[in-house]
Structure 1
């Protein structure tokens, strides 16, 4: 009886998911058809604002942790920022006037970025660490190993959750979160690139090798979000705060960027659990933003001096684990969002087993 309930619930959820994305694509088709015919600036902003508001509310039609989280991230977060940039003739939707409808829809609705062809001077200026050739072998093999690790973590968490040491639970949760996000975004990017014949920028760059928070957030973790926030928040804030003096423009822009990121993570939190945001995620990003600003000033002061690579990685990952446990995962644990995610794996496995 319970399995039948999950089956019907999943059918309803998938139907809502397809209707939601039909509305998203239809809205973006309107932007493509009429957006470029409206002069950029206030007029185009007024045209896209109703769609921006719609994209904020659409994830509320979904209750699945996984479907809701990816929709909230791609549409309410990235998609809305891309539309706001488009309103002012900036960003990935305005970089090429002759962009086709299919590419416009993909770039607007998915966490992808078109690769510059060729990149300026053959170098990636936004993410310098990507200019280094990888030393870890075939990407296919690497992601196959990561996929296997993800499957093992999911199996362990769903079957032995109550028997695992609480400290190990935190490690498994962080590992699950990282692998799930990376594998999902990489899969979306790979499928989109293959179907549309596009060359796309990488979405992640081995975040577990980060030597500082600045390195983690700016050059390794979720590069699509970093690029969009750089264009929509960091650069405008830096330009406006220059009146305070060049000493404060960069720190102000960094803290403002992390603050906005925190607000949008609170929105995604609300989409997933439907309870009033606690502010803890905003505090998490504000804390990291302030520390990144401090890091930059320390690097300017001490210049060439730095910790050995291994110690830097250990300190960075340690800081991330502590703050994730304290502020990021705490509200998700409190409202059992992670338990809901694990329940979806169990229900899916049961349905698959019955189908066989």
Structure 2
């Protein structure tokens, strides 16, 4: 653990220096391919950074924040696009907005539809219960285990992102956008992926993949076909990136299951978006309760089919739980 902590500090110090370098070249090199050439060495460093760790949480957080989010943000930044443009007013904000899954709140008065703060406390309590329930997983049915895995991954990410958001918000002294918006309330796949789950990701993939794909395809095909291919391309890229993150977790060669999970959701989301534009869909509306059950059920079932198997086979979920329990033991008085 001591060696892991040393590597963790070294990686983040290197990341801060590298991002500071990117911030300063923005004033000296015009946006475009030439600036991208100066940014690419940083992207390569961020790509290999997770391989210095054996801890699932350390390698996973570095893979998500640096290899995935920071790299995409910096590539977009090279062309004056994405979440880092317009440039944050200070180096500290530029570093934080590059490294973490955060975005400055554009309209602080738009938080009226968020759930009460006690809901987060309830999530923490449920997460604590899940840690103990996991000890009895051998007595649980496959379907209950599937729900358990889904809840565990969601709640750990939710708590982790909230802690990061609070710490960064206090450090920077500014309001930040929520990282997610209660995904279990999604009424459609478009709602789930685009407006509720891990909101910084669609904010990056939209200008990086969806918009260019639409711009290229709409010149040669209909609007619906272009939309379909744009959505599908976005999910394929997301699938490939998740394969990279899973490799950092498991150190095992990708099986393609995670990519197929996102291809499946990309096709279904694209079909859903196209169908919603028809006159029939505008006249007919499904009950919100039914649509939520179908949406969340589809996500959970397909996760059990394609998303979780690589993690279960590698023992990664057990390692996640064990590392959390070890951390709790270390901080106990």
The alpha carbon displacement at 1:297 in A equals 1.8
Q: Which residue of 1 aligns with 2:214?
A: 238
Task: Determine which of 276, 285, 288 is the counterpart of 1:309.
Answer: 288
Distance 1:291 1:145, change over 3 A: same
- State the TM-score, normalized to the length of structure 2: 0.95
CA distance in 2: counterparts of 1:340 and 1:274, whole angstroms: 13
1:343 is aligned to 2:322: yes
Q: Which residue of 2 aligns with 1:273?
A: 250
How many aligned residue pairs are there? 330
The alpha carbon displacement at 1:85 in A equals 0.7
Q: Which residue of 2 aligns with 1:7?
A: none
1:290 is aligned to 2:303: no
CA distance in 2: counterparts of 1:56 and 1:44, whole angstroms: 19
Deviates more, 1:165-174 or 1:248-257: 165-174
Task: Determine which of 331, 334, 345 is the counterpart of 2:310.
Answer: 331
Q: Which residue of 1 aligns with 2:189?
A: 213
Secondary structure of 1:99's aligned partner: coil
Deviations 1:191-230 (A, max 9, x none): 1111111121111111001111011001100001111111
Deviations 1:101-121 (A, max 9, x none): 100100011110112257xxx
Q: Which residue of 1 aligns with 2:95?
A: 105
The alpha carbon displacement at 1:70 in A equals 1.5
Q: Which residue of 2 aligns with 1:89?
A: 80
CA distance in 1: counterparts of 2:261 and 2:314, whole angstroms: 18
1:22 is aligned to 2:8: no
Deviations 1:123-182 (A, max 9, x none): xxxxxxxx5832643x2x12111111111111221x222222222111111001001111
Task: Determine which of 141, 144, 147 is the counterpart of 1:168.
Answer: 144
1:259 is aligned to 2:236: yes
The alpha carbon displacement at 1:352 in A equals 4.2
CA distance in 2: counterparts of 1:331 and 1:93, whole angstroms: 33
Secondary structure of 1:243's aligned partner: coil
The alpha carbon displacement at 1:86 in A equals 0.7
CA distance in 1: counterparts of 2:112 and 2:287, whole angstroms: 22
Distance 1:182 1:349, change over 3 A: closer
Consecutive unaligned residues of structure 2, counting only runs of 5 or more, are none
Deviates more, 1:200-209 or 1:182-191: 182-191
Q: Which residue of 2 aligns with 1:64?
A: 55
Deviations 1:284-328 (A, max 9, x none): 001000001110122122213121111101111111111000000
Deviations 1:224-266 (A, max 9, x none): 1111111111111111111122232111110000000000000
Distance 1:33 1:334, change over 3 A: same
CA RMSD of aligned residues (A): 1.6
Distance 1:198 1:58, change over 3 A: same
1:133 is aligned to 2:112: yes
The alpha carbon displacement at 1:184 in A equals 1.0
2:83–2:203: 8 Å Cα contact kept in structure 1? no
CA distance in 2: counterparts of 1:48 and 1:135, whole angstroms: 37
Secondary structure of 1:95's aligned partner: coil
Task: Determine which of 12, 17, 27 is the counterpart of 2:3.
Answer: 12
2:205–2:234: 8 Å Cα contact kept in structure 1? yes
CA distance in 2: counterparts of 1:112 and 1:13, whole angstroms: 25
Q: Which residue of 2 aligns with 1:228?
A: 204
- State the TM-score, normalized to the length of structure 1: 0.89
Secondary structure of 2:294's aligned partner: helix
Secondary structure of 1:296's aligned partner: helix
CA distance in 1: counterparts of 2:167 and 2:4, whole angstroms: 23
